[in-house]
Amino acid sequence: MGLFPLSRLSWRRQEVLWGYICISPFLIGFTVFTVGPLIFSLYMSLEKYVAGLPPTFVGFYNYQYMLRDALFWQSLKVTVTYTVFVVPLGVIIGFLLALLMNQGVKGIGVWRTVYYMPSVVSGVAVSMMWLWLLNPDFGVVDNILHSLGIPGPGWLTTTTWALPSLILMSVWGAGGSMIIYLAGLQGVPKQLYEAAAIDGAGRWGSFLNVTIPLMTPIVFFELVMGIIGTFQVFINAFIMTDGGPAYSTLFYVLYMFQQGFEQFHLGLAAAMAWVLFAIVMVLTFLVFKSASLWVYYESPAEERTN
């Protein structure tokens, strides 16, 4: 008799058991690499854990320290400012680009590819490219401005322009959301436009009363993903400004990285990660709660939940 006398089990039990065996690689991986570290980081956030030294349990000290730390608030301020500008910009520009790319003109495939292409370039490469483009000495942007008799503002070297530069740079990646909006636009049933036309709606009326309502679920998706994404901004600031000048681009995750991997305050960095998680969760919850006010679904809510 084998260790697992499967043949003695009913067919149904065998099927269930095999099902679990088959998904166990994921379950084990998820537990070990996601749930485990999650729990461990929560515990770490309650410790004064400086890399290389034995950790000591300090309760909520890290959270209290954070509240007293001016740079924590500065990093939060920078990140919220970035989110407030970048998320609406991404939604609007992505949507407008999708409308343009939804036109049935010759060579539209090429245009779609061109606009989507920046989204597949790695963040580091994009940062390096922009670093050179915005360089006041030999950057293309300043050279163009100089040729027009306008002095460059010091894009990444002044406290006034460093964060706006990163915000403007984010538009570069609008092609990613454009593709999602485009898919949504192409899914709008033509009959609805025909019905609107019969009712006397012009192009603007159709856009306001058909296109926009049917695109709200996608706007909702982009909004949620945008909030989550902008709160996790790291690469641009890490490579281009390292949080400067004078902390004007000190993003939350960059500061968390500095605490964890430059100053070795792993317990504090873990606490910051949990605060970030809480902030993103609350904001996502608020967006979800507001959805019933502005997101239009063709099917009733009770059908969607079934």
Partner 1 sequence: MNDRPVSRRKVLLSVGGLGVVTLLAACSAATPASPTAASTPASSTSAKPAPTQTPKTGSSKATATTPTVAAQAQSGAGTQGAKIVFYVWGGAPEKKVWDAEAAAFHKANPKFTVNDEILGSAFNQKLTAAFAAGTPPDSFYSGGVPFGNAKVEQLLPLDSYVKQDQVNLNDYFPVTIKNYQYKGHLYSLPNECGGYVIYYDEGLLKEAKQETPGALLAAGKWDWNHLIQVAKAASNPPNQFGFDIWNYSLIQIYAWDQGGDLVDNDTDPTTSNWNKPIGTEVLQFYSDLCNKYKIMPDPSFEQAHGGSGGVAVAMESNRLAMGVQGAWERLFLNSAKVSFKWDIGLMPKGSKTATTVGYASGCVGTAAAKHHDETWQFIKFMGSEEGNKIYAGLIAVPPLVKVANSDWFLKRPPVNDKIQTKVYLDALKASRPSINFPKINQYNQIVNNELDLVRLQKVTPQAAAQQIHTDLMSKVFGSGGY
Q: Is 268 in the site for partner 1 (CB under 8 A)?
A: yes
Among 54, 107, 109, 200, binds partner 1 (CB under 8 A): 54
Which one of 6, 32, 84, 278 is in contact with partner 1 (CB under 8 A)? 32
Does 45 bind partner 1 (CB under 8 A)? Our answer is no
Neighbouring CB atoms inside 10 A of 36's CB total 11
CB of 230 to partner 1, least distance (A): 23
User: CA torsion angle for 241, 244, 245, 251 (degrees, to 10)?
Assistant: 110
How far is residue 98's CA from residue 175's CA, in Å, rounded to a whole number? 9
* Selected binder of partner 1 within 65, 221, 234, 274 (CB under 8 A): 65
| Among residues 2, 52, 109, 200, the one that binds partner 1 under rule CB under 8 A | 52
| Residue 255 identity | Y
Binding residue (CB under 8 A) for partner 1 from 103, 104, 106, 137? 137
* DSSP assignments along 111-157, one per residue: HHHHHHGGGGS-HHHHHHHHHHHT-TTT-HHHHHHHHTT-----TTT
Site map (CB under 8 A) of partner 1, residues 149-168, x = contact: -----x-xxxx---------
Distance of CA 178 to the CA centre of its chain: 15
219: exposed, middle or buried (Cβ count in 10 Å: 0-12, 13-18, 19+)? buried
Distance CA 257, CA 233 (A): 11
C-beta of 27 vs 121, nearer to partner 1: 27
Nearer to partner 1 (CB atom), residue 44 or residue 214: 44
State the CB neighbour count (10 A cutoff) for residue 127.
18
Residue from 111, 116, 193, 264 touching partner 1 (CB under 8 A): that is 264
- Contact between 261 and partner 1 by CB under 8 A: the answer reads yes
User: According to the binding rule CB under 8 A, does residue 246 interact with partner 1?
Assistant: yes
By CB under 8 A, residue 263 contacts partner 1: yes
Question: Rule CB under 8 A: is residue 118 a binding residue for partner 1?
Answer: no
Give yes or no for residue 132 binding partner 1 (CB under 8 A): yes
59: left (phi over 0), alpha (psi -120 to 50) or beta: left
Q: Is the dihedral of CA 297, 302, 303, 306 positive or negative?
A: positive
Task: Verify binding: residue 141, partner 1, rule CB under 8 A.
Answer: no
| Binding region for partner 1 (CB under 8 A) | 8-10, 12-13, 16-17, 20, 24, 27-28, 30-32, 35-37, 40, 50-54, 65, 131-132, 134-138, 154, 156-159, 240, 244-247, 258-266, 268
